[in-house]
C-alpha cells in the first residue's frame, strides 16, 4: 500500500498544476488532479487520453481510480479532489459516484464544464451525491496553462 504523507491544502493544487504541466509536456490537454484525505495525498494524475488511447483517461478519472486502489474501496468518503479545470459531465458523475467530499477546481470551463457551467450536474434533483464545490483555486495559473497549450497548437 502507498504510504500517505501529510500536505497542506494549497500544496494539493500546486501538485495538480504540476500534473497539468506534465500532461502538456506529453502533448495532452494540461489538466491535473489530486485526491487527498486527512491531509495526505492518495493519488495524483494528469490527462492521458492520447497516450492511453482512452477517452475516459481524464486526470480526474485516473486520480479517482488510483485513490480507490490506494484505500481498497470504490468510495472515497472523506476525500477531497483538486483539479485544475472544472470537471466535464463524465468526471462530475464519477466524482458523485465516488462520494468525494469536496471538489476544488481552478479554471471554469464554459464549453465543457458540468459543475458551474453546462449541465450543472450537482444542482440536478437526480444527483444522488453532490460534493461541496469551491471553484477558482489558482484559477489564473490553471487558465494560463490551457491558453498557452492551445495557442501553441494553433
CATH code, 132? 3.40.140.10
Q: How far is CA 125 from CA 22, 115, 120, 129, in A?
A: 37, 14, 11, 10
Alpha helices, DSSP H, located in the chain? 9-25, 49-52, 59-71, 89-98, 139-153
**For residue 9, what are the β-bridge partners?**
none
Residue 71 lies in a domain: yes
In a domain, 88, yes or no: yes
23, 29 Cβ separation under 8 angstroms: yes
Determine, yes or no, domain membership for 1: no
Which of the four pLDDT bands, split at 50, 70 and 90, describes residue 1? very low
- For the chain, how many structural domains are there in total? 1
CB atoms within 10 A of CB 140: 10
In a domain, 152, yes or no: no
Q: Tell me whether residue 44 is in a domain.
A: yes
Q: Which residues are catalytic?
A: 60
Evaluate whether residue 47 is within a structural domain: yes
If you average pLDDT over residues 119-139, what whole number do you get? 96
Per-residue pLDDT at 154: 82
What pairing do the DSSP bridges indicate for beta strands 40-46 and 32-37? Answer: antiparallel
Please give the Cα distance from 88 to 141 (Å, whole number): 19
State the cell numbers at 90. 463524465
In a domain, 118, yes or no: yes
**Average confidence (pLDDT) over 2-30:** 82
The answer to whether residue 48 sits within a structural domain is: yes
User: Which ranges of 45-154 would DSSP assign to H, the alpha helix?
Assistant: 49-52, 59-71, 89-98, 139-153
Which residue range forms the structural domain that includes residue 50? 12-147
Query: Does the annotation place 127 within a ligand binding site?
Result: no
Mean pLDDT in the chain? 94
Amino acid at each position: 500500500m502507498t504510504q500517505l504523507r501529510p500536505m497542506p491544502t494549497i500544496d494539493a493544487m500546486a501538485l495538480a498544476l504540476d500534473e497539468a504541466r506534465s500532461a502538456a509536456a506529453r502533448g495532452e490537454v494540461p489538466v491535473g488532479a489530486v485526491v487527498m484525505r486527512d491531509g495526505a495525498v492518495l493519488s495524483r494524475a494528469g490527462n492521458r487520453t492520447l497516450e492511453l488511447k482512452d477517452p475516459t483517461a481524464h486526470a480526474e478519472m485516473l486520480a479517482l481510480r488510483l485513490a480507490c486502489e490506494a484505500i481498497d474501496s470504490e468510495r472515497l468518503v472523506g476525500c477531497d479532489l483538486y483539479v485544475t479545470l472544472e470537471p466535464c459531465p463524465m468526471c462530475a458523475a464519477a466524482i458523485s459516484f465516488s462520494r468525494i467530499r469536496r471538489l476544488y477546481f481552478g479554471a471554469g470551463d464554459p464549453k465543457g464544464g458540468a459543475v458551474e457551467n453546462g449541465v450543472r450536474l450537482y444542482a440536478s434533483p437526480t444527483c444522488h451525491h453532490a460534493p461541496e464545490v469551491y471553484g477558482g483555486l489558482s484559477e489564473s495559473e490553471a487558465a494560463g496553462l490551457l491558453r498557452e497549450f492551445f495557442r501553441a497548437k494553433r
